[in-house]
Structure 1
């Protein structure tokens, strides 16, 4: 029974004309499949990055705006980057920028655009502080080495007595981009930027730290016992950054770019001992010698040198 079915098929395949027809059919099917794939890939839009390194707040607001405008988009796995079709990148970017997006992860002075008439003085002051923190964070993020920045301001209550009035303080939290670091002059610039924006804030009352918890800002009380001087802090920071770059470079050569993070904490002994020593060699040769002698006479009282 099986042979009866296979014999006609074998004869059909053994026929030269049929084989040519079968080959032509296979070629046609492959051509149709290839053509269909090309049409599919050409019809699929090419997505490019609209904004990257977004905070959750900015990403959420942007997604809502894109849905409202019915613009197709894609989110990166981490949700920090938004992609749109290539031909719409610049138009969408300009439209969102005109609406104040991205905000940089914090509210700015636009908070006063929604202020109601019944807002109390306390809420106004609180909103002003939030707005100042947000604006300073946005400004600091403009530095190319800075990926994220947060500013916290502490404004003490006003006192009736000038002597009891406390000074405001501020802290700046920074996250630098991979493989980058801030120089001492850049950190000092950030300190003076914050101090200049807040009334009564002294630069010595500003602390700048990074994601490793290291204090980057200089201290004026470095002469205290247990505190390192500014030069020692700079030396330690430069030493750590130098070793960090070397280690991270070696790791990225093995693991790939941006797939390794290196951190270095240097413990340096800056203790110094001053020793003053005078040595006399008993066997040394006399370089020069000078002798003076005097003779005196009791009669004349005049001394005659020899």
Structure 2
């Protein structure tokens, strides 16, 4: 009988009894399924329209909702995204409703066929529209710009008007993305982009406005003033940080970082000054010299023009009177030019001149180190701070050192939040929910399925074992066959009192083992061992 039981034990599905791995395998399978579903939901989404295409979002969302097409909104750019499999269906539905992406038309307007006899005015309008569209597309290439529209005011040339011609101008209207802003450099880039695309258009004639009506291009053409103001703020901040760092490096090793505070206020002169200096060097040197000398002895013409002038001159009375009446004239003239050696200098000041600096240092008088200072040590510390900050008394710099009591820093008390609203509780609740979901799927989904599969594989094996075991030929003393004992009550194994008697037939024990294997698989091996041991004891008694 022992050999028969061993063969029966070898034929039973012992692997099913070792089912400790089933929960682990079920949990892994459920986790893999959940991850696959999440990955399936998050992937294979594509943009419905391009980033630079203007679409009526409200109408598109209404159409997609009516067609039951799932969609998502990309959080950074705000673009609508649908699944790749639903992309043709979504575009067909939008086309049927007459909703199309609108992008500014550029030079493709010039590709249209022109009717014969089109006027020059219409050609100019078409060229202007194409140029505006190209500029709008270029501006929309910026990440912060969602849509742009450009208006050009082109000054027309005329052969009859040569002066007082109005300048060309341009206006740009921008619609920025949600939460985006344009820096000053970006606005300046847009201004110069538009100005550089049209001959004769100056940056001062370009205006940029956003969707809120804010003029973004105010004073954009004055780059020197804008850059100077920005550089001035950076210079003040840098000087303040350098001075505070220098003072902190001196005080921190002495009294600690919590026992002092420093405040620095520099005053800078940002006026840009240009001056030209000219100096004369050494003694003057003659550069040129001219002299003129003139002598005149002729008689001067005197008298009144008329008939009396033609009368002959009376002869002189004597020789002496003649010599005294003879005219004489002499003139001398001299001119000299001197040049000096000159030194001409053109000086341009940068505009960052420190006029005054005020420094305030507060020390904690409750600090043990500060309390132990004497008056002489305080003076030494103050002199050290003056040198560390670079204080110049002639310039008017001031450093003030004061000792005060610091107030104790109150600890930050977070508001009392109910435990169910705490973030940690919410996070652990999510994790617990996922774990509970995996456990439920494993216990009520995977394990019953595996048990059914195991039962289906057990039935053919049990039938083969029953066919291989010979039927008993004897009967008991009452004349009844042992096969009647197959109608044992089905119940769970609780002890030896529920076991069939040792004198039962083999078929009765096999039926009991089959019933026990369906309810309590772990007990089958124990029952078989008990039967084998009882059989060995009975054989040893004999």
| TM-score of the two chains, using structure 1 as the length reference | 0.45
| Structure having greater relative contact order (Cα 8 Å, sep ≥ 6) | 2
| TM-score of the two chains, using structure 2 as the length reference | 0.27
Larger radius of gyration, structure 1 or 2? 2
Q: Determine which structure has the larger strand proportion and give its number.
A: 2
